[in-house]
Amino acid sequence: MSLPPGFLDEIRNRVPISRVIGKKVVWDLRKSNQARGDWWAPCPFHQEKSASFHCDDQKGYYYCFGCHAKGDAIKFLREADGMEFIEAVKLLAAEAGLQMPEADPRAREKTDRRTRLFEVTEAASRWFRLQLQTAAAAEARDYLVRRGLDQAALDRFEIGFAPDSRTALTQALRDKGFDESLVVESGMLAKPDGGGAAYDRFRGRIMFPIRDGQGRCIGFGGRAMDPNARAKYLNSPETPLFDKGRSLYNLGPARAAVGKRQRLVVAEGYMDVIALSRAGFEGAVAPLGTAITEEQLRLMWRVSSEPVIALDGDAAGQRAAQRLIDLALPMTGPGQALRFVILPAGQDPDDLIKSAGPGAMAALLDGARPLVDLLWARETEGQVFDSPERKAALDKRLQDAIGKIPDEVTRNHYAEELRRKRWELFGGGARRGGERSFKGRGGQGMPARPVLPIPAMATDPQAAAALLEGASLLICALRPELIGPIETRLERLTPHDPDRAALLFDLMGQTQSEAGRRGLETLRRDAHLGLTPAVIDAQDTETVAAILANLLDRLEAQRAIGAELARAEAEIQGEADEGLTWRMQQIARARHRAERPELEGGLDLNEDRDALSAQLSQFVDGQIWRKPPRR
């Protein structure tokens, strides 16, 4: 329907956005300024402990600095409650005391039809609940008791029963004044394709109402009591209200629980959700009898940035995990992650909670594995990589998989994690395991002072960086057992020389290439690095590790400090102010610390290097240094 000009503005003026959002969040009153309409809270769209979600009453907008969700009150209701646009407008108009404008006849008819369909499903839900108390439902009640459901659980989840009759529900709905065409459209009655009388779709089944994010009954799932039934579970068909690929069981209560800092746990079925919720895991949802769809994934991510997928430990659960990997990779990124829990073989959440208690389920959820772990397991478990061809095939599969990830930063982190796993699989982890067992030569457990195997630094910054880079690569080639612990730092190297770049690739991937061998020989022949092999051979592992770390610190300092110096100089206009002078002093001190090859007075080398790395990271991450305020 079309709205008159200014109608939405009038709603925004009358209803502060904080009043709308305040029903879903708990404001951080220490950080908020109520008098100015400036509000902060943990984000309702992703899990976090800090208050990074900002709401501004004056502007009428919200923004999350964590997941970047943003919008006005209408957008919030659509995202948080799954409302349609016009439904959100109607709710806000009612709160503002405004009369909705008259809709055109066609739109009004459609809206009225949906309202009547909701009335049908709600009436059916009440009728099913009443039938559970009849004699015909004795077997169903016994089954529910065996599953551990008491009356409180039946009431909470509105569980009912559809008797084994073709016309009982039809007649009950007719008695309430619903015409047959409306009941057929709601999915409660089925009409034979070849013609004939409509009949009750659900017969002889325990009934589970399915509700949307606003709590409205949109359809049903029914579990057959007859073990010979063609379908153990039967869902409502596609209707104007129900699309099973876009819906989740228990969505509304789960969203409320996630808003109270609980996890969003995705189980396989209705009974799993009920068992989890009753055990305290109230953020539980389930897809509706099919594999998780793209639309359901997006719906989950609107509730939580990192849902936990809890799968049964049987073959079907394993297959579901594999399908979900391929579905999720092209969609994953910041604020859209998945973690996985594979339950013990032969158990679902209900079984586990009954046999081992909620604590066992909590422990499994705490240990949920990220998507990258399942990807790696899928491509490696049960396989032998005893030839270059098999290793190359693994690399190709992994490259193809992570190539589907659209976000570049996420894709790079996947590549980094998979390189680490590859290193451990092909022997790097075994070599790395004893790295801390070596004692230094400085006595009393202290490492020997590193003897740097390169001459005094060149005055040209580029030449100095090239020399540090070459020395680092040469040491890694001579002592490959040191690569594992510093792999992340080596990944930040970006050699301009193609032979050096090939050598770095070979070192990281434990491969060999002609260009890499050429790069290594060039470094061995470099006059400035001629003493390096002899010096390194004479040192123990811990000392060489300290030397290598010092070289990398100095290399990062050369590059990062140069960038910071350029930024600081670019800000100087006329005479340098006190703040810029302070920044220049910090740059000089960092350079001095990075280039100092030895430490005075028995200071711990690792502690000093950690402190330096923290200081350098401020440069590397592009943070502009400012002089701290005077106290």
pLDDT over threshold 70, residue 326? yes
Closest CA to 477 of 434, 425, 536, 433: 536
Number of domains in the chain: 4
Q: Which residue has the higher pLDDT, 188 or 566?
A: 188
**Percent of the chain as helix, strand, coil, to the nearest 5:** 55, 10, 40
What is the C-alpha separation between 222 and 188, in angstroms, rounded? 12
The DSSP output letter for 45 is S
Residue 629 has pLDDT above 90, yes or no: no
User: How far apart, in Å, are the Cα atoms of 606 and each of 10, 34, 255, 307?
Assistant: 62, 47, 46, 38
On the question of pLDDT at 441 being above 80, the answer is no
Q: Give yes or no: residues 63 and 112 share one domain.
A: no
In a domain, 629, yes or no: no
pLDDT at 116 over 90: yes
70 and 145 inside one domain: no
CA distance to 415, 469, 487, per residue, from 492 (Å) = 13, 11, 9
pLDDT higher than threshold 50 for residue 620: no
pLDDT at residue 625, as a whole number: 39
Question: What digits encode the pLDDT tens for the residues 418-430?
Answer: 988 888 887 654 4
How confident is the model at residue 570, as a pLDDT? Answer: 59
Backbone dihedral region of 231: left (phi > 0), alpha (psi from -120 to 50 degrees) or beta? beta
Specify the amino acid at residue 56: D
d(CA 327, CA 287): 15
Asked if residue 610 and residue 468 are part of one domain, the reply reads: yes
Residue 619 pLDDT? 44
Residue linked to tokens 């679902």: 348
Q: Helix H segments across 572-604?
A: 578-595
> Higher-confidence residue: 104 or 9?
9
Give Cα separations from 377 to 8, 350, 374, 402 (angstroms). Answer: 52, 26, 5, 14
The pLDDT-based confidence of 603 (bands split at 50, 70, 90) is very low
**DSSP states along 76-143:** HHHHHH---HHHHHHHHHHHHTPPPPPPPHHHHHHHHHHHHHHHHHHHHHHHHHHHTTSGGGHHHHHH
Residues 61 and 159 in one domain: no
In the prediction, which pLDDT does 438 show?
31
Do 480 and 557 belong together in one domain?
Answer: yes
Residue 223 backbone dihedrals phi, psi, to 5 degrees:
-100, 125
The pLDDT value given to residue 92: 93
pLDDT given for residue 588 in this prediction: 62
Contacts of 495 (CB under 8 A, 6+ apart): 469, 473, 501, 503, 504
Residue 189: strand pairing partners: 200
Backbone angles phi, psi at 386, to 5 degrees: -110, 15
The CATH number of whichever domain residue 41 belongs to comes to 3.90.580.10
CA distance 304 to 337: 9
pLDDT tens-digit map of 341-353: 989 888 889 889 9
| Residue 383 placed within a domain | no
Q: Give the span between the Cα atoms of 629 and 366, in whole angstroms.
A: 42
- Residue ranges of E strands in 139-196: 160-162, 189-190
The mean pLDDT value for 111-131 works out to 93
Q: Work out the pLDDT band at 628, boundaries 50, 70, 90.
A: very low
Cα–Cα distance for residue pair 237/225, rounded to 1 Å: 20
Both 320 and 180 in one domain: the answer is: no
Round to whole Å and give the CA distance between 303 and 264: 8
Over residues 90-116, mean pLDDT: 80
| Boundary (domain end) residue, out of 334, 367, 400 | 367
pLDDT in tens, 136-157: 999 999 999 999 999 999 999 9
Question: What average pLDDT does the segment 236-252 reach?
Answer: 94
Task: Look up residue 26 and give its two tokens.
Answer: 């708990």
Query: Within this chain, do residues 603 and 543 fall inside the same structural domain, yes or no?
Result: yes
Q: Is the pLDDT of residue 436 over 60?
A: no
Query: Does 313 fall in a domain?
Result: yes
Average pLDDT over residues 202-226: 95
Q: What are the structure tokens assigned to 626, written together?
A: 């400012």
Residue 424 identity: E
- Residue 53 is predicted with a pLDDT of 93
Which residues are within 8 A (CB) of 424 and not within 5 positions of it... i.e. 6 or more apart? 484
What's the pLDDT tens digit per position in 263-316? Answer: 999 999 999 999 999 999 999 999 997 789 999 998 898 888 899 999 887 778
**Residue 123 shares a structural domain with residue 221:** yes
Tokens of 496: 């301009």
Question: Is 455 domain-assigned?
Answer: no
Supply the pLDDT for residue 124.
97
Distance CA 243, CA 630 (A): 61
Nearest-5° Cα angle at 51, 46 to 56: 100
Domain boundary among 68, 96, 124: 96
HSE at residue 73, side-chain half, CA atoms within 13 A, is: 31
The rounded Cα 432 to chain-centroid distance in angstroms is: 30
Residue 302 CA to residue 255 CA, distance in Å, equals: 9
Beta-carbon contacts of residue 278 (< 8 Å; ≥ 6 apart): 153
CA distance 157 to 274: 8
Q: How many CB atoms lie within 10 A of CB 106?
A: 9
Q: What is the DSSP letter of 527?
A: G
Residues 130 and 167 in one domain: yes
Token digits of residue 383: 């396989």
d(CA 551, CA 471): 8
Do residue 37 and residue 83 come from a single domain?
A: yes
Q: Is residue 423 part of a domain?
A: no
What was the pLDDT predicted at 434? 38
Residue 609 has pLDDT above 80, yes or no: no
Burial class from Cβ neighbours inside 10 Å (0-12, 13-18, 19+) for residue 486 reads middle
Helix (H, G, I), strand (E, B) or coil at 158: coil
Give me 108's structure tokens: 């009004």
Q: Is 603 found in the same domain as 482?
A: yes
Phi, psi dihedrals of residue 286, rounded to the nearest 5°: -150, 145
242, 261, 284 — which closes off a domain? Answer: 242
Say what the pLDDT of residue 572 is: 54
Higher pLDDT, 107 or 354: 354
Residue range of the domain that includes 266: 251-367
Query: Does 443 map to a domain?
Result: no
pLDDT at 533 over 80: no
Q: Please measure the distance between the N-terminal and C-terminal CA atoms of the chain and give it in whole angstroms.
A: 60
Please check whether residue 387 lies inside any domain of the structure: no
- Tell me: the pLDDT tens digits for 371-420? 999 999 999 988 888 888 999 999 999 999 999 999 888 998 999 899 88
What CATH number has the domain bearing residue 204?
A: 3.90.980.10
Beta bridge partners of 161: 206
Token digits of residue 415: 């590549």
Assign 3-class secondary structure to 458-519.
CCCHHHHHHHHHHHHHHHHHHCHHHCHHHHHHHHCCCCCCHHHHHHHHHHHHCCCCHHHHHH
**Residue predicted with more confidence, 204 or 629:** 204
Q: Could you tell me how many residues make up the chain?
A: 631
- 148, 277 Cβ separation under 8 angstroms: no
Whether 218 and 194 map to the same domain: the answer is yes
Q: Please indicate, yes or no, if residue 326 is contained in any of the structural domains.
A: yes
Structural tokens at position 377: 């397991």
Tokens of 279: 């055990």
Burial (CB < 10 A; 0-12, 13-18, 19+), residue 391, is middle
pLDDT at site 598: 43
